[in-house]
Amino acid sequence: MRLGINTFLFTSPFTNDSTKLFPQFKKWGFQTIEIPIEDPSHIDPAHVKRELDKNGLVCGTVCACMGPGRDFRGSAEDQKTAMDYCTKLIDQMVVLGCPSLVGPVYSVVGKADAVEPTAQKKEWALVVKNLKQLAKYAEKKGVQICIEPLNRFETDFLNTTDQGLKLLKDVGSKALMLHLDTFHMNIEEKDQAKAIRKAGKLLGHFHACGSDRGTPGNDHIDWKPIVAALKSVGYKGDVVIESFTTDVKVIARAAAIWRRIEPTTDEIAVKGLKFLKTVLK
């Protein structure tokens, strides 16, 4: 398991200039970088790849930013916008040498409401249809898509491992995997370790976040069973810290970070990495 950092902890949006963060990430000891690409026009993937190579790092994952207008269960226009955005990300991933597109690749984040069962079925069918198309494109390009269930406050569509596995089954593509996150699971799962074991070989990506979105290990999550579960299913993917602070205003607002959870962003990265190295051994 490689240890990585999501750049949202330090900047938004990620641009060519953000590659200046890479030397510090390398110095701290991270092996992989997770890059949220808010708009494909923000980066030249060839430039980012050169900077990664220069610093002995890899882009293990690109995080889809499903903002307004990007919704596979929305209007025809929203579906097209989401498809165009995701296919462009996959094209950039090929240049970056990145194998995995991760995140809530199904609906705009923040769309959470009580939807009637009939409407739920229609929305589910739309997402399945769109993901089948996107997954075929991913297969063609030799990458995978890891679908992330979010907590109930961020989406009403996909909250649990069970729901995620059902979506994977309905889409039926070898390019589709599951992405689990300890922050979201802390809210939605009865037992995080059990959820990981249920995902099994379909677990394609993992976020290690504190229960309050802060430093992993400086929280109330019971990490030992989680690590044991990851090892029991033979998980070999990246373990990425995706924590947020008030320093990056746009992300703080989107993730409802209204107070300083940790003293500094650097502390989250350094102490979080040290803890994960220890607990993962």
pLDDT tens digits, one per residue of 229-271: 999 999 999 999 987 776 666 666 667 776 777 777 888 899 9
Report the amino acid identity of residue 236.
K
Residue 91 CA, chain-centre distance (Å), reads 18
* Residue 44 to residues 15, 16, 57, Cα–Cα distance (Å): 8, 7, 17
Say which amino acid occupies 20. K
- Alpha-carbon gap, residue 4 to 6, rounded angstroms: 7
CATH number assigned to the domain with residue range 2-280, chosen from the 4 options 3.40.50.1010, 3.20.20.150, 3.10.180.10, 1.25.40.10: 3.20.20.150
Q: Residue 65: which region, alpha, beta or left (left: phi > 0; alpha: psi -120 to 50)?
A: beta
The pLDDT of residue 153 is: 92
Q: Please report the pLDDT score of residue 52 as a whole number.
A: 98
pLDDT tens sequence across 209-234: 998 888 999 899 999 999 999 999 99
Q: 142 pLDDT band (50/70/90 cuts)?
A: very high
Closest by CA to 172, choosing from 192, 200, 202, 199, is: 202
35 has a pLDDT exceeding 90: yes
Both tokens of 209, joined, read 């976040």
Number of Cβ within a 10 Å radius of residue 83: 17
- Could you write out the DSSP letters of every residue in 184-213? HHHHH-S-HHHHHHHHGGGEEEEE---TTS
**Burial letters for 137-167: b for 16+ Cβ neighbours within 10 Å, e otherwise?**
bbeeeebbbbbbbbbeebbbbbbbbeebbeb
**Counts for the chain of helices (H) and strands (E), in that order:** 10, 8
Q: Please state the rounded mean pLDDT for residues 127-133.
A: 98
The rounded Cα 31 to chain-centroid distance in angstroms is 17
